[in-house]
Amino acid sequence: MLRLHHFAAIACLQGTLLLGNMPALGQTSGNVSTEAALPAAISPDITGIVDLAETSLPVGVGYLSPRGQSELQASWLSSVELPLYSEPGGDHWGWIWQGWLIPNGQQAFAIGRDARFTMVSVDSSLLAFPVLEAREDGWLQMQYTDGGSAWIHSNQLNERGLELSFYPWEDRLAEAEVLYLRNEADTQVLRSQPERGRNVLSLVSPNSLIEPLEIQDDWIRVRITRPTNGCEALAGASEEEGWLRWKDTEGEVLMLPSREACAG
Protein backbone atom coordinates (compact mmCIF):
# COMPACT_ATOMS: atom_id res chain seq x y z
CA MET A 1 0.00 0.00 0.00
CA LEU A 2 1.38 3.40 -0.97
CA ARG A 3 1.07 6.29 1.46
CA LEU A 4 2.32 9.84 1.20
CA HIS A 5 4.65 9.44 4.17
CA HIS A 6 6.41 6.62 2.32
CA PHE A 7 7.82 9.31 0.04
CA ALA A 8 8.89 11.66 2.83
CA ALA A 9 12.57 11.12 2.10
CA ILE A 10 12.25 12.08 -1.57
CA ALA A 11 14.03 15.33 -2.43
CA CYS A 12 11.30 16.88 -4.54
CA LEU A 13 11.66 20.66 -4.56
CA GLN A 14 14.06 23.17 -3.08
CA GLY A 15 11.20 25.43 -2.00
CA THR A 16 7.52 26.17 -2.56
CA LEU A 17 6.29 25.65 -6.10
CA LEU A 18 4.36 28.63 -7.43
CA LEU A 19 1.34 28.03 -9.63
CA GLY A 20 2.18 28.84 -13.19
CA ASN A 21 5.76 27.54 -12.73
CA MET A 22 4.89 23.86 -12.87
CA PRO A 23 8.11 21.85 -13.32
CA ALA A 24 8.68 19.50 -16.19
CA LEU A 25 8.24 15.88 -15.15
CA GLY A 26 11.47 14.59 -13.62
CA GLN A 27 12.80 18.02 -12.65
CA THR A 28 12.99 20.03 -9.43
CA SER A 29 12.53 23.75 -8.93
CA GLY A 30 16.28 24.12 -8.36
CA ASN A 31 19.05 23.64 -10.88
CA VAL A 32 19.22 19.89 -10.42
CA SER A 33 17.65 17.86 -13.21
CA THR A 34 16.69 14.25 -12.71
CA GLU A 35 15.24 13.64 -16.16
CA ALA A 36 14.40 10.04 -16.89
CA ALA A 37 12.67 8.15 -19.65
CA LEU A 38 8.93 8.28 -19.16
CA PRO A 39 6.94 5.05 -19.22
CA ALA A 40 4.46 4.52 -22.03
CA ALA A 41 0.84 5.40 -21.31
CA ILE A 42 -1.23 2.50 -19.95
CA SER A 43 -4.81 1.87 -18.87
CA PRO A 44 -5.09 0.94 -15.17
CA ASP A 45 -5.93 -2.61 -14.18
CA ILE A 46 -9.48 -2.31 -12.86
CA THR A 47 -8.99 -5.33 -10.59
CA GLY A 48 -6.42 -3.34 -8.63
CA ILE A 49 -8.77 -0.44 -7.92
CA VAL A 50 -10.96 -0.39 -4.80
CA ASP A 51 -14.36 1.20 -5.44
CA LEU A 52 -15.42 3.09 -2.30
CA ALA A 53 -19.03 2.91 -3.48
CA GLU A 54 -18.88 -0.79 -2.61
CA THR A 55 -17.72 -0.06 0.94
CA SER A 56 -18.90 1.93 3.95
CA LEU A 57 -15.76 4.08 3.92
CA PRO A 58 -16.04 7.89 3.59
CA VAL A 59 -16.12 9.30 0.05
CA GLY A 60 -15.19 12.90 0.89
CA VAL A 61 -16.89 16.10 -0.22
CA GLY A 62 -16.85 15.41 -3.94
CA TYR A 63 -14.77 13.86 -6.68
CA LEU A 64 -12.32 14.56 -9.49
CA SER A 65 -13.13 13.24 -12.97
CA PRO A 66 -12.86 14.07 -16.69
CA ARG A 67 -14.91 17.02 -17.83
CA GLY A 68 -17.95 16.07 -19.89
CA GLN A 69 -17.01 12.41 -20.42
CA SER A 70 -18.40 9.13 -19.19
CA GLU A 71 -18.31 5.40 -19.98
CA LEU A 72 -14.60 5.38 -19.22
CA GLN A 73 -14.36 3.46 -15.94
CA ALA A 74 -10.74 4.24 -14.96
CA SER A 75 -9.25 4.22 -18.48
CA TRP A 76 -9.20 8.05 -18.48
CA LEU A 77 -6.15 7.90 -16.22
CA SER A 78 -4.08 6.93 -19.28
CA SER A 79 -4.53 10.52 -20.54
CA VAL A 80 -3.92 12.38 -17.25
CA GLU A 81 -0.82 14.46 -16.42
CA LEU A 82 -1.50 15.73 -12.91
CA PRO A 83 1.08 17.27 -10.52
CA LEU A 84 0.78 16.23 -6.86
CA TYR A 85 1.78 18.24 -3.77
CA SER A 86 2.55 17.33 -0.17
CA GLU A 87 0.31 20.12 1.21
CA PRO A 88 -1.42 23.29 0.00
CA GLY A 89 1.29 25.55 -1.39
CA GLY A 90 3.90 22.97 -0.41
CA ASP A 91 6.42 20.75 -2.16
CA HIS A 92 5.67 19.14 -5.48
CA TRP A 93 6.40 15.44 -4.84
CA GLY A 94 5.24 13.60 -7.93
CA TRP A 95 2.74 12.98 -10.70
CA ILE A 96 -0.14 10.91 -11.83
CA TRP A 97 1.11 10.47 -15.35
CA GLN A 98 -0.71 8.52 -18.09
CA GLY A 99 -1.69 5.58 -15.90
CA TRP A 100 1.31 5.75 -13.56
CA LEU A 101 2.04 7.14 -10.11
CA ILE A 102 5.53 8.68 -10.31
CA PRO A 103 7.05 10.10 -7.10
CA ASN A 104 9.90 12.48 -7.94
CA GLY A 105 13.21 10.64 -8.14
CA GLN A 106 11.60 7.22 -7.62
CA GLN A 107 10.38 4.35 -9.74
CA ALA A 108 7.03 4.58 -11.48
CA PHE A 109 4.11 2.51 -10.14
CA ALA A 110 1.51 1.20 -12.59
CA ILE A 111 -1.92 2.15 -11.23
CA GLY A 112 -3.93 -0.94 -10.34
CA ARG A 113 -0.97 -3.21 -11.11
CA ASP A 114 2.02 -2.22 -8.97
CA ALA A 115 -0.11 -0.06 -6.71
CA ARG A 116 -3.67 -0.61 -5.49
CA PHE A 117 -5.64 2.60 -5.93
CA THR A 118 -8.86 3.87 -4.37
CA MET A 119 -11.59 5.49 -6.47
CA VAL A 120 -15.37 5.82 -6.34
CA SER A 121 -18.14 5.10 -8.85
CA VAL A 122 -20.11 8.22 -9.73
CA ASP A 123 -22.45 6.36 -12.10
CA SER A 124 -22.67 2.98 -13.82
CA SER A 125 -19.65 3.61 -16.06
CA LEU A 126 -17.21 6.06 -14.48
CA LEU A 127 -14.70 5.84 -11.62
CA ALA A 128 -13.37 9.08 -10.10
CA PHE A 129 -10.94 10.18 -7.38
CA PRO A 130 -12.60 11.10 -4.06
CA VAL A 131 -11.81 14.63 -2.86
CA LEU A 132 -11.52 14.76 0.92
CA GLU A 133 -11.30 18.54 1.25
CA ALA A 134 -11.94 21.45 -1.12
CA ARG A 135 -10.49 24.77 0.04
CA GLU A 136 -11.68 28.18 -1.07
CA ASP A 137 -8.19 28.99 -2.40
CA GLY A 138 -8.50 26.20 -4.98
CA TRP A 139 -6.51 23.46 -3.26
CA LEU A 140 -8.10 19.99 -3.33
CA GLN A 141 -7.05 17.00 -1.21
CA MET A 142 -7.40 13.97 -3.47
CA GLN A 143 -7.48 10.43 -2.11
CA TYR A 144 -5.70 7.79 -4.19
CA THR A 145 -5.31 4.84 -1.77
CA ASP A 146 -7.28 3.84 1.32
CA GLY A 147 -4.67 5.61 3.48
CA GLY A 148 -2.95 7.96 1.06
CA SER A 149 -3.82 11.38 -0.32
CA ALA A 150 -2.12 14.29 -2.06
CA TRP A 151 -2.98 17.90 -2.84
CA ILE A 152 -3.69 19.33 -6.26
CA HIS A 153 -4.73 22.82 -7.37
CA SER A 154 -7.78 23.55 -9.48
CA ASN A 155 -5.76 25.92 -11.68
CA GLN A 156 -3.67 22.99 -12.85
CA LEU A 157 -6.44 20.55 -13.70
CA ASN A 158 -6.47 21.57 -17.36
CA GLU A 159 -2.87 22.59 -18.05
CA ARG A 160 -1.67 19.19 -19.24
CA GLY A 161 -3.39 16.10 -20.59
CA LEU A 162 -7.07 15.38 -20.13
CA GLU A 163 -9.23 18.22 -18.77
CA LEU A 164 -10.48 17.45 -15.26
CA SER A 165 -13.01 19.08 -12.95
CA PHE A 166 -13.99 18.91 -9.29
CA TYR A 167 -17.65 18.07 -8.65
CA PRO A 168 -19.24 18.44 -5.17
CA TRP A 169 -21.43 15.50 -4.18
CA GLU A 170 -24.49 17.69 -3.74
CA ASP A 171 -24.33 18.69 -7.42
CA ARG A 172 -23.94 15.10 -8.58
CA LEU A 173 -26.75 13.81 -6.35
CA ALA A 174 -29.11 16.53 -7.55
CA GLU A 175 -28.66 15.56 -11.21
CA ALA A 176 -28.60 11.78 -10.76
CA GLU A 177 -31.42 9.68 -12.13
CA VAL A 178 -31.62 7.30 -9.18
CA LEU A 179 -29.90 7.22 -5.77
CA TYR A 180 -29.20 4.42 -3.33
CA LEU A 181 -28.55 4.33 0.40
CA ARG A 182 -24.95 3.41 1.15
CA ASN A 183 -25.76 1.46 4.30
CA GLU A 184 -27.66 -1.58 3.07
CA ALA A 185 -28.39 -2.70 6.62
CA ASP A 186 -30.17 0.49 7.66
CA THR A 187 -33.23 2.56 6.88
CA GLN A 188 -33.70 6.32 6.66
CA VAL A 189 -36.54 8.44 7.96
CA LEU A 190 -38.55 10.20 5.26
CA ARG A 191 -39.80 13.57 6.56
CA SER A 192 -42.30 16.13 5.35
CA GLN A 193 -39.84 18.98 5.94
CA PRO A 194 -36.01 19.24 5.74
CA GLU A 195 -35.57 19.17 9.50
CA ARG A 196 -35.84 16.86 12.47
CA GLY A 197 -39.11 16.95 14.40
CA ARG A 198 -42.58 15.49 14.44
CA ASN A 199 -42.68 15.26 10.67
CA VAL A 200 -42.02 11.57 10.00
CA LEU A 201 -43.76 10.19 6.92
CA SER A 202 -42.29 6.69 6.73
CA LEU A 203 -39.10 4.66 6.78
CA VAL A 204 -37.13 4.17 3.58
CA SER A 205 -35.33 0.86 3.12
CA PRO A 206 -32.28 0.41 0.88
CA ASN A 207 -34.28 -1.57 -1.71
CA SER A 208 -36.55 1.41 -2.46
CA LEU A 209 -36.30 3.36 -5.71
CA ILE A 210 -35.08 6.85 -4.76
CA GLU A 211 -35.35 9.68 -7.30
CA PRO A 212 -33.84 13.08 -6.40
CA LEU A 213 -35.98 16.21 -6.78
CA GLU A 214 -34.04 19.02 -5.05
CA ILE A 215 -31.31 19.58 -2.46
CA GLN A 216 -31.44 21.98 0.49
CA ASP A 217 -28.33 22.03 2.66
CA ASP A 218 -27.87 18.52 4.11
CA TRP A 219 -31.31 17.41 2.96
CA ILE A 220 -32.60 16.11 -0.35
CA ARG A 221 -36.24 15.98 -1.46
CA VAL A 222 -36.95 12.66 -3.14
CA ARG A 223 -39.64 10.56 -4.72
CA ILE A 224 -39.79 7.08 -3.22
CA THR A 225 -41.25 4.13 -5.13
CA ARG A 226 -41.79 0.77 -3.41
CA PRO A 227 -41.81 -2.14 -3.74
CA THR A 228 -39.42 -2.38 -6.68
CA ASN A 229 -37.11 -4.82 -8.38
CA GLY A 230 -34.12 -2.67 -9.21
CA CYS A 231 -35.46 0.17 -11.33
CA GLU A 232 -38.78 -1.54 -12.01
CA ALA A 233 -41.83 -0.88 -9.86
CA LEU A 234 -43.65 -4.06 -8.86
CA ALA A 235 -47.38 -4.60 -8.97
CA GLY A 236 -49.16 -2.47 -6.38
CA ALA A 237 -46.17 -0.12 -5.93
CA SER A 238 -46.85 3.34 -4.50
CA GLU A 239 -45.00 6.66 -4.62
CA GLU A 240 -44.29 9.07 -1.80
CA GLU A 241 -42.36 12.34 -1.72
CA GLY A 242 -40.46 13.76 1.22
CA TRP A 243 -37.03 14.71 2.60
CA LEU A 244 -34.06 12.51 3.47
CA ARG A 245 -30.65 13.43 4.84
CA TRP A 246 -28.00 12.93 2.16
CA LYS A 247 -25.19 13.88 4.56
CA ASP A 248 -24.90 13.17 8.28
CA THR A 249 -23.85 15.58 11.03
CA GLU A 250 -20.19 14.65 10.54
CA GLY A 251 -20.34 15.38 6.82
CA GLU A 252 -20.34 11.76 5.65
CA VAL A 253 -22.30 11.06 2.47
CA LEU A 254 -25.24 8.72 3.14
CA MET A 255 -26.28 8.05 -0.46
CA LEU A 256 -24.70 7.91 -3.90
CA PRO A 257 -25.87 7.84 -7.54
CA SER A 258 -27.02 4.38 -8.51
CA ARG A 259 -24.50 2.27 -10.42
CA GLU A 260 -27.41 0.51 -12.12
CA ALA A 261 -28.39 2.15 -15.40
CA CYS A 262 -32.17 2.64 -15.47
CA ALA A 263 -34.08 3.07 -18.71
CA GLY A 264 -35.57 6.54 -19.13
pTM score, whole prediction: 0.83
If asked whether residues 90 and 220 sit together in one domain, one would say no
Domain end residue (candidates: 169, 195, 230): 169
If asked whether residues 60 and 155 sit together in one domain, one would say yes
203: pLDDT strictly greater than 50: yes
In a domain, 161, yes or no: yes
17: pLDDT strictly greater than 60: no
Domain end residue (candidates: 169, 188, 223): 169
The model's confidence at residue 264, banded by pLDDT at 50, 70 and 90, is low
If asked whether residues 162 and 211 sit together in one domain, one would say no
CA distance linking residue 236 with residue 257, whole number of Å = 25
If asked whether residues 152 and 214 sit together in one domain, one would say no
Burial class (CB in 10 A: 0-12, 13-18, 19+), 217: exposed
In a domain, 264, yes or no: no
In a domain, 74, yes or no: yes
Range of the domain at 253: 176-257
In a domain, 29, yes or no: yes
For residues 41-63, average pLDDT = 94
pLDDT score, position 36: 56
Structurally, the chain folds into a number of domains equal to: 2
For residues 82-86, average pLDDT = 95
